[in-house]
Amino acid sequence: MPENTHSEKRTPASQRHGQIMPIGGAEDLDPSRDGSILHEFVRLAGGKRAHIAVIPTASADPEQSGAGYKKLFEKIGVNTAEVLNIDQREEANSPQAVELLQRSTGIFITGGDQARLVSLLTGTLVMETVRVSNQNGSVVAGTSAGASILSAHMMVPGSLPGLQTSDASPRKGETDLVGGFGLLRDIIIDQHFSQRGRIGRLLEAFAGNPGLLGLGLDENTAAIIDDAATLTVIGCGAATILDGRNATSNYFECHSGEIVSVFDSHIFVLGPGQRFDLATRRPLPPAEA
């Protein structure tokens, strides 16, 4: 293998933060489609010079999922693609895991069980290395559950029995928030958004946490967030943004299972190519071609 030189690649990138790329799940897995979300991830990670690390921890079959994404990224045409398999929490604190992530220019977290991501990765050296790598210029992407964990606040199903998380009405107790990786602050990410009718649970989550921004991503849709806090939508669906900065609700007067009323919230629905300023919480003109 030629001396690449991961450090040479990283020298200019280390002067800026890398992009963060939550994906709404069910992304196009055809490696021949140049305009796909995964092609864009590879491009941002360095194209043919990219070194990709796949973290399949959330998947029901991590070994199969990891091998599948490794093969896909190799077909797209990266320099290297490696899989970081973590089945025990101590493995997420190993020098080998840290070293693999440190030499990567792109980190991809697969979908699956959000609880596995939290129990095996949150608070570990793997989490810290992902954050540092992103600060040093590596692009970090996650699909489905892997998208949700990119934020500091991650939704998980609530403990109240009998509630359906696809109910379009926001009901208290539908969700709980746990700690994520913290690459994004003051944002809650939900996925499979339109396909699974999840506006209710996102409204409930941000009503109980005033001031947070809710980001719902449709399937085969991604948000690319750069170091200037600009969000750009790519893919085939929409990104729905709920702004609760000026919102009020009766969340804390409700009992578990009751519908939560929300007032004065703002909703933005952005199609492919649309942009949004996360700092000012206002839409931006589409980028010039």
Domain boundaries, the chain: 17-274
User: What is the pLDDT at residue 165?
Assistant: 54
Q: Is 153 a catalytic residue?
A: no
CATH 3.40.50.880 corresponds to the domain 17-274 = yes
Asked whether the predicted pLDDT for residue 14 surpasses 70, the reply is: no
- Percent of the chain's residues with pLDDT above 90: 84
| d(C-alpha 203, C-alpha 167), whole Å | 11
For residues 11 and 151, the model is more confident at 151
Between helix 95-102 and helix 125-135 the angle, nearest 10°, is 20
CB 242 within 8 A of CB 214: yes
- Percent of the chain's residues with pLDDT above 70: 91
Mean pLDDT, residues 235-260 taken together: 94
Q: Is 144 a catalytic residue?
A: yes
Distances in Å between the Cα of 17 and the Cα atoms of 94, 97, 136, 207 are 25, 21, 6, 31
pLDDT band at 161 (very low <50, low <70, confident <90, very high): low
Distances in Å between the Cα of 113 and the Cα atoms of 20, 86, 109, 155, 217 are 21, 14, 12, 12, 17
Neighbours of 21 (CB within 10 A): 27
Q: Is 219 a catalytic residue?
A: yes
Q: Which of 14, 15, 54 is nearest to 38 (CA)?
A: 54
| d(C-alpha 66, C-alpha 217), whole Å | 23
Mean pLDDT, residues 117-136 taken together: 97
Q: Is the dihedral of CA 15, 96, 124, 188 positive or negative?
A: positive
pLDDT band at 158 (very low <50, low <70, confident <90, very high): confident
Q: Position 32: which residue type?
A: S
Q: Which of 61-65, 125-129, 166-170, 182-186 has the lowest mean pLDDT?
A: 166-170
Asked whether the predicted pLDDT for residue 242 surpasses 50, the reply is: yes
- CA quadruple 246, 263, 219, 16: dihedral, nearest 10: 0
Distances in Å between the Cα of 214 and the Cα atoms of 29, 244, 281 are 27, 8, 11
User: What is the pLDDT at residue 166?
Assistant: 57
Asked whether the predicted pLDDT for residue 16 surpasses 80, the reply is: no
Q: Which two tokens stand for residue 27?
A: 């992304």
User: What is the pLDDT at residue 10?
Assistant: 36
**Among 17, 39, 51, 192, which one carries the catalytic annotation?**
192
Distance of CA 232 to the CA centre of its chain: 14
**Among 144, 148, 151, 249, which one carries the catalytic annotation?**
144
Mean pLDDT, residues 224-252 taken together: 96
| d(C-alpha 3, C-alpha 248), whole Å | 57
Any residues with CB less than 8 A from the CB of 233 and at least 6 apart, and which? 221, 222, 223, 239, 270, 271, 272, 273, 274, 275
Q: Which helix (H) or strand (E) holds 169?
A: none
When the pLDDT of each residue in the chain is averaged and rounded to a whole number, the result is 91
pLDDT band at 5 (very low <50, low <70, confident <90, very high): very low
Asked whether the predicted pLDDT for residue 11 surpasses 50, the reply is: no
| d(C-alpha 36, C-alpha 47), whole Å | 14
For residues 288 and 233, the model is more confident at 233
| d(C-alpha 167, C-alpha 288), whole Å | 39
Asked whether the predicted pLDDT for residue 244 surpasses 90, the reply is: no
